[in-house]
Structure 1
């Protein structure tokens, strides 16, 4: 963890941004060195991911990233900090609020969710998924098919703005629209006494768009493997589009925003 009160935040998506499964190396060690140098200057290193907390910790170990983040935002929403003996715990009341909001969301929108489920099951080859803990999602058979499903969902959102979802490729997870990578990043900043002007955020996929927003981070970036729509979004908001993939692209991005860090 950072040795002193953070003065700025470095928020990275995990898959496709910090690591790239088809690259060699998957995670460039120079990026780790740069992050550590910036932490010495007051940065809080945050992983902001759609993975669950256990999946995130497993991924760090799998790819040999042995630095412990200062905070993890998991499932595109839940904020965690390291606890005693490295046990991760909720940071602030946000996670509890998010869970209650999701329960209300599911209860309040049974009709819309039923209509969406029927559409998926009768008009597509995709699957509507309902988990044991109230989580709801869709797996499309192709991105084009999920595009069509999202258009149908968006029609419901126009009537009920609190209906939200996180999308990554052919995978979609429903969520209350007030709880996303972006709003979680802003809540973390608030808890640390910071604001969007002191936040850097980077991501490559659709579920990263909420944090690649000046309302949540004034410094935004995407790697060379970012989706075209993500690159266009970052460019339109004055952000940085790297040439290289994932961690090597993040080296470019940190150099662009922070120069060469010196402890």
Structure 2
């Protein structure tokens, strides 16, 4: 029996309007009611998904969790208690930021409790607003105020997939700190500490809960989800997943994220 479900949000659980469908909500609540743990496993901040947790009945609940920042932090929902982090050092964040600025690429810096964005396009502003993501706009290149904050990851945004791939290949060669490089949402290339990924964080949380890997379902759509799909006993790609994710998954849903793909998987595999 599956006891833990880890699930990506954007383009997996959330529909095209960045909402959780009633069908998904109902299936998730039924799984939790039978004693399961449903854990959003997202590249975003845990603070940016509080409304989603509220809808699912998980807000401020003890023994329920979020994995945030692509595995950069594990958080218990009750009190938003941070249980573990895998941060990047300031010098690496600053170096990647300087490279991006020289390439005229926009992006985000995620501190543990704050998001900083530079040069977002109108489309990017709309994308963040649709998801209720709060951020501070960076207006100059002085990042010294970040030195004393735990820094989870830095991501670059470009609509050109070839350019994202080029940045993902070139930047790790220019910095000393080993990086985990992933892609998400058809718009971002993301850089975490090499110790941070969704799969490692999933297994770390599962061990804390006394749950075996073969008792885990992982659902996702993009390359930053591959680690958790490979780590779980059952890896699931939604129908709109990339070819790489579909190839790695044990099951590909008939439905896409806009048509309650998560509920399809939960009803097929996880409900009594």
Q: TM-score, normalised by structure 2?
A: 0.71
1:227 maps to what in 2? 242
Would you say 1:172 and 2:189 are equivalent positions? yes
Indicate if the aligned counterparts of 2:167 and 2:189 stay in contact, CA closer than 8 A.
no
1:3 maps to what in 2? none
1:89 maps to what in 2? 81
Distance 1:60 1:49 in 2: 13
Q: Tell me, what secondary structure is at the counterpart of 1:210?
A: helix
Would you say 1:27 and 2:20 are equivalent positions? yes
Distance 2:181 2:50 in 1: 24
Summarize the Cα distance change of 1:248–1:201 in structure 2 as closer, same or farther, 3 Å threshold.
same
Q: Shift of the alpha carbon at 1:35?
A: 2.2
Q: CA RMSD in A?
A: 2.9
Q: Shift of the alpha carbon at 1:141?
A: 4.3
- Show structure 1 runs of 4+ deviating over 4 A: 116-122, 128-131, 154-157
Q: Tell me, what secondary structure is at the counterpart of 1:90?
A: strand
- Which residues of 2 match residues 208-219 of structure 1 at below 5 A? 208-213=225-230, 216-219=231-234
Distance 2:265 2:247 in 1: 16
Summarize the Cα distance change of 1:129–1:28 in structure 2 as closer, same or farther, 3 Å threshold.
closer
Among 67, 70, 78, the alignment partner of 1:73 is 67
1:139 maps to what in 2? 157
Would you say 1:250 and 2:262 are equivalent positions? yes
Indicate if the aligned counterparts of 1:219 and 1:257 stay in contact, CA closer than 8 A.
no
Would you say 1:127 and 2:142 are equivalent positions? no
Indicate if the aligned counterparts of 1:18 and 1:250 stay in contact, CA closer than 8 A.
yes
Unaligned runs of 5+ in 1: 1-5
Distance 2:234 2:2 in 1: 14
Summarize the Cα distance change of 1:58–1:256 in structure 2 as closer, same or farther, 3 Å threshold.
closer
Unaligned runs of 5+ in 2: 110-115, 117-145
Aligned length: 226
Q: TM-score, normalised by structure 1?
A: 0.73
Task: Give a deviation string over 1:2-44, Cα, whole Å, max 9, x none.
Answer: xxxx971011111111111259xx4332332222222233311
Q: Shift of the alpha carbon at 1:119?
A: 5.9
Summarize the Cα distance change of 1:230–1:82 in structure 2 as closer, same or farther, 3 Å threshold.
same
Summarize the Cα distance change of 1:34–1:136 in structure 2 as closer, same or farther, 3 Å threshold.
closer
